[in-house]
Structure 1
Amino acid sequence: MSDQPVCHCLLCVEREVELDQADLRTLRSVRDRGWAIVMIPEDEDGPGWAFTVGLWHTLRSPEVVMLGLRVDVMGNCLGTLADRIAAGHHLVEGRERDDVIRNYPVVAKAVDTSWYRSLFGTALHFYQGPPLPFMEIVWPDAAGRFPWNDGCAPRLRELQPALWIPKDEHAPGPWTKLP
């Protein structure tokens, strides 16, 4: 008997579910490549974000999310990271890695489930709800300081919420206003 949780995603379990074009693109990408990257662009309400769908299904790796950069940059970073995970370079919470953004480290932090509905609707639909793990890929300011470091650029904290903190305990901002 396997210790791995059973996957209940749209590819593993047959069920009658209505799928739109975005769902079909996600399914094709996960089936063909192993994962998809969903990009939510910045708008008048706040910064953009990007996340993966399929890493859990394909590799039993947590899905990953980046926030606050241009979506094309985050999409490229997440694609690079997914390739590295597929090559056996797994995520370790709290450990810096230097293979995502050139000349800058990033740190993976486990996302509290209270953020899932606000940020990861496509993933929840694909997996037919939790449980599935997500990790936030946190990037530093130009001086290499992370949001939790003294002296980090204040704007960095606005662009990247601390998703490891429950949503109702997080400092108010554009991220906590998401439904």
Structure 2
Amino acid sequence: MTSRTCTPLQLQQWQDQEDAWLRDTVRRHGWAVQYAAGSPPFAYTVGLFGFEHPELLVYGLDLQTSAWLLNEFGQRVRDGERFGPGRPLRLAGWDHRLQLFPFHDGDHPPVLGSAQRYYDLGAAGPVPALQLIWDDAAGRFPWEAGYELPAGLQPAPRPHSPG
């Protein structure tokens, strides 16, 4: 739903329903996965910050794969594991390697809009997040020569830049 296809009241009602679903899902499961079928598609968690862990974001995957991937990480975070930038890692059941990078969500509107509304940190800044970058079938990441997936499928991570 966009503001071009509905009235401000309808948009507010839709957002209120979305926020209620989000609160209920996080309360029941510990986190939720939000998916945006844009170009490129992306998905992110809402609720991992409540476990004192950055939220997670991944670009370029379909809904089912995104949800599986983020839920696998969510379960591990709930069990006490912590992830951060560093060496490539793997998840059992997935053929790709992953690397995590800090992601600063300073856009207006924010990329992680539901997470920003959920936590409403105000002047404290956006909710901390990590972007998951996955390799291609040949094991290359987007910054490596020969990477075979379309440019822009996984936008470069955006660390916080002072100023």
The residue type equivalent to 1:96 in the other structure is: P
2:81 aligns with one of 52, 66, 89:
89
SS in 2 for 1:117: coil
CA distance in 2, matches of 1:115, 1:37: 20
The residue type equivalent to 2:34 in the other structure is: V
CA distance in 2, matches of 1:115, 1:60: 23
The residue type equivalent to 2:77 in the other structure is: I
If the length of structure 2 is used for normalisation, what is the TM-score?
0.79
Ranges in structure 1 where 5+ consecutive residues have no aligned partner: 1-17, 168-179
Q: Are residues 1:47 and 2:40 paired?
A: yes
Q: What is aligned with 1:146?
A: 141
Ranges in structure 2 where 5+ consecutive residues have no aligned partner: 1-12
The residue type equivalent to 1:49 in the other structure is: F
1:30 aligns with one of 26, 33, 37:
26
Number of positions where the alignment pairs a residue of Structure 1 with one of Structure 2: 146
1:56 aligns with one of 49, 52, 61:
49
SS in 2 for 1:119: coil
Shift of 1:112: 2.4
If the length of structure 1 is used for normalisation, what is the TM-score?
0.73
Q: CA distance change for structure 1 residues 101 and 124 in 2, over 3 Å: closer, same or farther?
A: farther
Quote the RMSD (CA, aligned, Å). 2.4
Q: What is aligned with 1:104?
A: 96
The residue type equivalent to 2:64 in the other structure is: D
Q: Are residues 1:21 and 2:17 paired?
A: yes
CA distance in 1, matches of 2:86, 2:106: 20
Note the 1:98-137 alignment, pairs <5 A: 98-99=90-91, 102-115=94-107, 117-129=109-121, 130-137=125-132
Q: CA distance change for structure 1 residues 101 and 50 in 2, over 3 Å: closer, same or farther?
A: farther
Residues 57-113 of structure 1: per-residue CA shift (max 9 Å, x gap): 1x1000000111112211111011111122222112132111176122111100023
Q: Are residues 1:70 and 2:77 paired?
A: no
SS in 2 for 1:138: strand
Q: What is aligned with 1:3?
A: none
Amino-acid identity (%): 29
